[in-house]
Chain A
Amino acid sequence: MDVAATRAPMRLVTGLAVALVILAGLAPVLPSYVVILMTEGLIYAIAAASLDLLLGFAGLASLGHSAFFAVGAYTTAILVTRHQASFGAALAASIVLAAVASAAIAILVLRATGIYFMMITLAVSLCAWGLAYRWVSLTGGDTGIVGIPRPRVPWVGLASGTLSFYYTVLALFVVCLALYLLLIWSPFGKTLVGIRDSESRMRVLGYNVFLHKAVALVVAGAFAGLAGSLYAYYNGFVGPSAVDLAHSMQFVLMVIVGGPGTLVGPLIGAFAITFLEKMVSVFTERWVMVLAAAYVVTALWAPRGMLGLLRAAR
């Protein structure tokens, strides 16, 4: 079973283009808090979509994705605050280091499959938290690293810091989205889906399953690193909470809520969860209940996530 994307790429591309135009056009007239949350939504969308490459396309449900996200975030924080790195340099270094970290972790975790893969990545995530917390000279320990200024990107005619940063993130989001689409439409993407559906069949067909999975992990890690870098700029600080289990879990939930294996689903999931948490909490103390209800309802009545697109029922 293939992805909807391959069947109707034109429709998908048109839909995404319309969505992007709306995202870009609406921002100047929306209240600033909404723009702030949209920025966060976009950053999480990049991260959630990268996890979807693993979870939805390669069948690797990783609970350790925040580790790579955090490598990106910490790299940016350290380079910007201690070495005055430029936006481009910090971004590039974050992507590379996150990819390197994923490659190293891949060797450790890829023998496990299914729930065991989930659990070994969970262990990785918990150890990564320990490192972020304890390696004080590098990470700043529990208080983390503060004082990361927003990148200065000269958008014509934009004074507001919030809006200008939003467009920066949006531009990078578009680039990532294009790359994601190329990736899942490529033969590599198709092979990943094949591995997800039947690892043994692909092995018999002569594919190097391990290598494919490892490459998927590295690519996803690189994108997560990019998202992490933006996250550091967004918050102006990085601390161990960027790498804790709750954060990893949040990425997974974004993918499931949106609809795994659809790429577009996780984008929706990222926005939905960000707004559910940070918007509902403005209005009620019981926002956790609202979030809980949203999860339960989605799980029970939206079997393929909010997007409701194709997904092989297991």
Chain B
Amino acid sequence: MEFWVNQTFNGVSYAALLFLLGGGLTLIFGVMKIVNIAHGSFYLVGGYLGVALVAATGNFYLALLGAALAVAAGGVILERVFLRAVEGDDLRQMLLTMGIALFFQDACLLVWGGDPFNLRGPAYFAQSVKLGGFTFPILRLFMIAAAGVLFVVLWWFQEKTRAGAMVRAAIDNAEMTEALGINVPILKMAVFGLGAFLAGVAGVVGSAFMGIYPGLDFEILPYAFVVVIVGGMGSLSGAFVAALVLGLLDNFGKALFPEISYFTLFAPMAIVLAFRPTGLFGRA
């Protein structure tokens, strides 16, 4: 019993991290149809900024907000200056974002050096809650809460607000949306900024959970891709469900059959795509 409760809880909290990683990417994917290789860099820069801001302000939540906003601003600039120039050409977008990713990789190494950092959250992050004989670390609870809150807010935004309706329209058919008089370029810039914001949040929360060091950008990128692809590009609920399924699958796969732990994330992805080439919730 303890085993199942613990592992389920671990799996759900891991899923929360996966959702934070993939949520931003799925928005960018859906609206802009680009393979953003620099998404991992947004995470990395967010994490490092978070560490610096925690050191400077001593307040985790301030650092979280500050780092995420800074990354979002950076994303907006990148979209305006660079990505717009290669719009509609997925291969050049890939090349460009790869260049950007390499730039940030080396820049972070220059600025912060190569020793790993651990982002210190509030003191209670190190504690646990005891409930009915089970122990739940607060940091993991926080991750679940953060992912949950962000999902609800984003879902509400996308489904219930006018701006969200525009985003949905742009995901389905960009030209039609443009014809309806919606300023799609501004919309894309905003969405890219939002995606970068989420990656920044993931960077800060993720760094509190697993530390931050050079190379993490390309380490986490496949995980973000998995969530987006299994969930279906542009589908927030898809990403949510995919993160949950994959988080639990990965966790129980590792706990019960450690032999296959190299395949617990990517084999499901290949299988899902083989049978549903547009992901679980994707539209063709």
A residues within 8 A CB of B263? 127, 130
- Is B274 in contact with A253, judged by CB distance below 8 angstroms? no
Q: How far is the CA of A112 from the CA of B218 in the complex (A)?
A: 24
Tell yes or no: A234 within 8 A of B by CB. Answer: no
Which of A252, A294, A313 interacts with B89 by CB under 8 Å? A313
Residues of B within 8 A of A298 (CB): 95
* Chain A contacts for B102, CB-based, 8 A: 288-289, 291-292, 295
Q: Report yes or no: B266 in contact with A115, Cβ–Cβ below 8 A.
A: no
Contact A127 B270 (CB under 8 A): yes
Contact with B along A81-116 (1 / 0, CB 8 A): 000000000000000000000000000110111111
B103 close to chain A: CB less than 8 A: yes
Q: A120-B274, A299-B96 are in contact. Are A289 and B225 (CB under 8 A)?
A: no
Task: Count residues of chain B with CB under 8 A from any CB of chain A.
Answer: 44
A256, B94: Cα distance in complex, Å: 9
Chain B residues whose CB sits within 8 angstroms of the CB of A289 once the complex forms? 102-103, 106-107
The distance in angstroms between the C-alpha atoms of A286 and B109, with both chains bound, is: 10
Q: Is B98 positioned at the interface, with any CB of A under 8 Å from its CB?
A: yes
Residue B233 at the chain A interface, CB threshold 8 Å:
yes
**B95→A295 contact, CB < 8 A:** yes
What distance in Å separates the Cβ of A253 from its nearest Cβ neighbour in chain B? 6
A residues in contact with B89, CB < 8 Å? 303, 313-314
A219 close to B (CB within 8 Å): no
List of B residues within 8 angstroms of A17 by Cβ: none
Instruction: Verify if A21 is at the interface (C-beta below 8 Å from B).
Output: no
Which of A116, A133, A293 is most buried by chain B, counting CB atoms within 10 A of its CB?
A116
Q: Are B270 and A252 in contact (CB under 8 A)?
A: no
Which residues B198-227 have CB closer than 8 A to chain A?
218, 222, 225-226
Q: Which residues of A contact B94 (CB under 8 A)?
A: 252-253, 256
When A116-B229, A122-B222, A300-B86 are in contact, do A127 and B267 touch as well, CB less than 8 Å? Answer: yes
The reply to whether B95 and A256 form a contact with Cβ atoms under 8 Å apart is yes
Chain B proximity of A277: nearest CB distance (Å): 11
| Chain A interface residue bracket vs B | 35 or more
Say whether B225 contacts A119, CB under 8 Å: yes
A70 interface contact, C-beta 8 A: no
How many Å from the CB of A127 to the closest CB on chain B? 5
Interface residues of B in 225-284 (CB under 8 A from A): 225-226, 229, 233, 262-263, 266-267, 269-270, 273-274, 277-279, 282
**A257 with B95: in contact, given A119-B229, A288-B105 (CB under 8 Å)?**
yes
Total contacts A-B at CB 8 Å = 124
Within 8 A of A (CB), among B98-113: 98-103, 105-107, 110
B273 and A112 within 8 A (CB): yes
Q: In the complex, what distance in Å separates the CA atom of A158 from the CA atom of B90? A: 46
Provide the residues of chain A in CB contact with B269, threshold 8 Å: 119-120, 123
Q: Check B105 against A299 for contact (C-beta < 8 Å).
A: no
Cβ contacts under 8 Å, B35 to chain A? 115, 118
- Residues of B that sit less than 8 Å from A by CB: 29, 33, 35, 37, 82, 85-86, 88-96, 98-103, 105-107, 110, 218, 222, 225-226, 229, 233, 262-263, 266-267, 269-270, 273-274, 277-279, 282
Additional A-B contact list (15), CB under 8 Å, known A133-B262, A257-B95, A292-B103: A109-B273, A113-B277, A116-B279, A120-B229, A120-B270, A127-B263, A256-B91, A288-B102, A288-B106, A292-B99, A295-B96, A299-B86, A299-B99, A313-B89, A314-B89
Subset of 28 A-B contacts with CB under 8 Å: A108-B274, A109-B273, A111-B274, A116-B273, A116-B282, A119-B225, A119-B269, A122-B222, A122-B225, A123-B229, A123-B273, A134-B262, A253-B98, A256-B95, A286-B106, A292-B103, A292-B106, A293-B99, A293-B103, A295-B96, A295-B98, A298-B95, A299-B93, A299-B95, A300-B82, A303-B86, A313-B89, A314-B88
